[in-house]
Amino acid sequence: MYHKSKGYKLFSIFNHILLILVALTCLLPLLHLFAQSFSSKAAVNGNLVSFWPVEFTADAYEKTFKNSNFTGSMLISIVRTVLGTLIGMFVITTAGYALSKDFRGRNALMWIFVFTMLFSGGLIPSYILVTSLGMKDTIWALVLPGAFGAYNLILIMNFFKTIPKALEEAAFIDGASFFGIFVKIFLPLSLPGLATVGLFIMVGHWNSWFDGILYMSNTTNYPLASFLQTVVVQSSAQSMALSQSEAAALSEQSIKAAQIFISTLPIILVYPFLQRYFVKGIVLGAVKE
Amino acid sequence: MKMKKTCAAAASALVMAGMLAGCVSKDNGPGTAAPEAALKDGKYDPVLTITTAKQQDENAGKYINGESLNDNVMTRWGVDHLGIKIETTLLGGDAANYNTKLRLALTGSEKLPDIIPVYDTSLENDLIQSGQVKEITGDIQKYMPDRLKEIYKQYPTTFNPVIQDGKVYGMAISPNLTEGEVMLVRQDWLDKLNLEVPTTIDEFEKVIAAFTNDDPDGNGKKDTYGFDFSGKDSYNTGWVSDPVMIFSTYTGKHLPGQWYNDNGKLTYGSVADGNKEALAKLRDWYSKGYLNKELATQGAWDALADFTEGKAGIIIGRPWLYGSVKDVEKNIKGAKISAHPTIKGVKEDKTYQSGQLNDGVFMFNKNFTNMEAFFLYYDKLYDAAFGTGDFKYGYAQGYDYDVVNGEVVFDSAKFNKPLDAIQAPGKMTFTKNTPSVDGPGKSYYDLANGAKPDNGILMRAAAPVDQTAKDGFVISYENRDVLLPSAFNGAPTKTMQSSWEQLTTMEKETFTKIIYSKEPLEAYDEFVKQWHEKGGTQITEEVNDWYKKTNEVDVMSAMGLK
């Protein structure tokens, strides 16, 4: 038996070690951050913290949650993610459903969508478009421009295509409408695909920071990722005109650690619930016909 | 039938979304379009709105009492006292994305703010070229209050980047020399090893050798080293973790990465005589373990950690750097830091550092018609610096100072409502830093020489903060003549745009490789040759042309600043 052969065992051991190493490279930075967030400021500045808190204190968390900018940004991020995922899923699934059928002009439409995957208008045209539509300083500037993603569309569309046509025809005979079939048959049958795409969109919204900085003219409107971007990016020597108080604030590494840690939590919590669909979703969606 | 309904629903949902977007969006248009507001008794009536752009660091203090950028104690003060409402309509987080947003605003899809602070010389140039900013020569002459004119008179070079064809398109944001750098030394290590504070390069070498080899922390391990600095971004950070002192020891006023006016001719410091000797020293020290092992990968701020951890003995930076590394006195029992001037050069003069005159420039929308209001407001902000008017002690009681039991207090922990940190007005007004006339630590110097703390500025300096930092400010003021602002502060020249990046990369790599002993010392000569051949000669010419051109027309007289 080949899986009992020496070579296979060796490979298996090697494989395990490799995967453990890969897992550690993902886990250790987070652990380090966690330890920093619970350590005293002096210990963190002196580089004394590795993977276990030194001089344990929850001070950084207290300060973080007292900071109304942080909590406000968190709220905006949550609203944005929920709204963005709902709108995104609605657009993608309806479009995917329609495009999984054969109709005239379908290929031309697909071609247009795929075109957007290869070429984008670029920063300036997108900015002019969003501001001219009056979306600047509103949540819509964060939600609408990214609502339609061609890559996700293709995943979902191919997923829908794997659903037997006979099922649909049977439903038609029973008197169901297109919309009824979509809601009652296609959506429930493609949960893995929906979960996968949903996670993609969700993580995308949660992590996206540039649009927040670009389209918001007040920090109180920043989503969490944009807020963190402005806090964590350290001033380099190039922007050297820092005053004393600014410089002191810059060194509060433990607070930054707490903020980053809190901001990663929601996604870490959502992930296990969607993970079981994940592999299936990607594989099925990727297979054509 | 049913399908049509669904389509209609979807379509209407989209339309709704669009309408909502339209409803919520703010209108940036009016306000400034109504120039009816008139100045009566130092106050505008009706309230005049001035829009501004702001680059804001989230780290720089926080808002209290639920205040925000456009609604805080300073904006309310402006409305109540001057009838001027300052509204930020363009906001960028760090320097890079602030510049991006300004460039996007230039595309014309929205209105540029009335006041535009710009921190990038090439962007300043682009703004002038775009024709969207106002020429303000006459406005300065007419509206700038006399006490501000006195300040701007002292710093004529700050106008260089915004002069084009003899016309002035902007003005420096609170021109003033930054405070200089001081040398922070582990005093307890010096005491333990019976060493004196180094004042020459030879003494410096002796001290860092002892800090590396003679176990100054007494733990029996060879785990300390002498000199902690960062070479990641440049060998002249002008800020913290700076090694420029070692270069200046041999090159004098020719600092690496900076232009120096050598009797009317601008020359580039990195190719000046003496750099080779400095590199030879650093190379020797590095191989002997006297220097930060990771100096080429650690940024200015990262390099501090070694000092704070108690591994390094000497670090250089602005006087307030003490506040950022003083945790070593908490982490290690008996640790004590002291501040000293930088060492002397080999030619028996001082060592020099880069100084900064201003943090960016103000530029103005060409349609902005209320320069008088701007100057009124700007002058008021200077009240705190002069210790006059409404801001005698500070900007706002309970924010950056407080009166407790009839006494003015600057320690935020002792306020009537104690705060974590003082609320710097930099987050609330249109200047990033508080305007100052104080210079590089003059108030601390005056106090040390017996001045009575009778105005806000002196009282603030007299507030009980870290003594070592205060010593540092005094030292930096006593040595203010070592500060050299770069002689070239214009927009990148034509050849710079195409090859400067390449040249600075070559410079950084060569310097680092020589220090790391990965290339022989002679690589420096080759670098100088290459530098001149690959555009350096051309750039030097262009920089000198620029210098001649900016000094051609006497704009200072035109602005009434002579």
More confident residue, A275 or A20: A20
Q: Are B271 and B536 in contact (CB under 8 A)?
A: yes
With CA atoms as reference, the chain A residue closest to B323 would be A248
A46 and B308: CB-CB below 8 Å? yes
> How many angstroms separate the CA of residue B150 from the nearest CA in chain A?
23
With CA atoms as reference, the chain B residue closest to A130 would be B109
User: Which B residues in the span 320-359 are in contact with A, Cβ-Cβ below 8 Å?
Assistant: 320-321, 323-325, 327-328, 330-331, 356, 359
Q: Are A98 and A248 in contact (CB under 8 A)?
A: no
Residue B107, C-beta contacts closer than 8 angstroms, at least 6 positions apart = A124, A127, A128
With CA atoms as reference, the chain B residue closest to A64 would be B62
B320 and A248: CB-CB below 8 Å? yes
Which three-class secondary structure state does DSSP give residue B248?
Answer: helix
**Averaged pLDDT, A239-251:** 51
With CA atoms as reference, the chain B residue closest to A241 would be B359
> How many angstroms separate the CA of residue A16 from the nearest CA in chain B?
33
- What are the chain A neighbours of B310 within 8 Å (beta carbons)? 46
> How many angstroms separate the CA of residue B301 from the nearest CA in chain A?
8
Q: Provide the 8-state DSSP code for B71.
A: B
Give the residue from A123, A217, A221 with the most B CB atoms within 10 Å of its CB, the best one to mutate: A217
B338 C-beta neighbours (distance < 10 Å), count: 19
H helices of B108-178, in order, are: 121-130, 137-143, 146-154
B167 C-beta neighbours (distance < 10 Å), count: 15
B93 and A124: CB-CB below 8 Å? no
B301 and A144: CB-CB below 8 Å? no
Give the residue from B16, B26, B56, B58 with the most A CB atoms within 10 Å of its CB, the best one to mutate: B58
Q: Are A234 and A250 in contact (CB under 8 A)?
A: yes
B59 and A47: CB-CB below 8 Å? no
With CA atoms as reference, the chain A residue closest to B2 would be A177
Which helix H or strand E contains A92, and what residues bound it? helix A68-99
Q: Tell me chain A's radius of gyration from C-alpha atoms.
A: 24
For the whole model, what pTM was predicted? 0.82
Along the 562 residues of chain B, how does pLDDT read in single tens digits? 344 444 444 444 444 444 444 333 334 444 444 446 677 777 888 899 999 998 876 665 567 777 888 888 999 999 999 999 999 888 887 777 888 889 888 887 778 999 999 988 999 999 999 899 999 999 999 999 999 999 999 888 899 999 988 899 999 988 877 888 999 999 999 999 999 999 999 999 999 999 999 999 888 889 999 999 999 888 998 888 999 999 999 999 999 999 999 988 999 999 999 999 999 999 999 999 999 999 999 888 888 889 998 999 999 998 888 888 888 998 888 999 999 999 999 988 899 998 888 888 999 999 999 999 999 999 998 888 888 888 888 888 888 888 888 888 887 788 888 887 777 777 788 877 778 777 778 888 988 888 888 777 788 787 766 889 889 999 999 998 999 989 998 889 999 999 999 999 999 999 999 999 999 999 999 999 999 999 999 999 999 999 988 888 888 888 888 8
pLDDT of residue B22: 38
User: Which B residues in the span 178-197 are in contact with A, Cβ-Cβ below 8 Å?
Assistant: 178
Determine contact: B405 vs chain A, CB below 8 A: no
Kind of pairing between the strands at B361-364 and B171-172: antiparallel
- What are the chain A neighbours of B433 within 8 Å (beta carbons)? 241, 243
> How many angstroms separate the CA of residue A248 from the nearest CA in chain B?
6
The residue assigned the tokens 């000046």 is B272
The CA distance from A130 to A132, in Å, is: 6
Q: Cβ-count burial of B263 within 10 angstroms (0-12 exposed, 13-18 middle, 19+ buried)?
A: exposed
Could you tell me the two tokens for B344?
A: 């002397």
A140 and B323: CB-CB below 8 Å? no
How would residue A238 be classed by pLDDT, with cut points 50, 70 and 90? very low
- What are the chain B neighbours of A43 within 8 Å (beta carbons)? 331
User: Among residues A140, A131, A33, which one has the least CA distance to residue B15?
Assistant: A140
pLDDT of residue A275: 77
With CA atoms as reference, the chain B residue closest to A133 would be B22
Q: In this complex, which of B68, B310, B330 lies closest to A218 when CB atoms are compared?
A: B68
Q: Are B445 and B474 in contact (CB under 8 A)?
A: yes
Could you tell me the two tokens for B128?
A: 């002038």
Determine contact: B62 vs chain A, CB below 8 A: yes
- Model ipTM value: 0.75
B109 and A131: CB-CB below 8 Å? yes
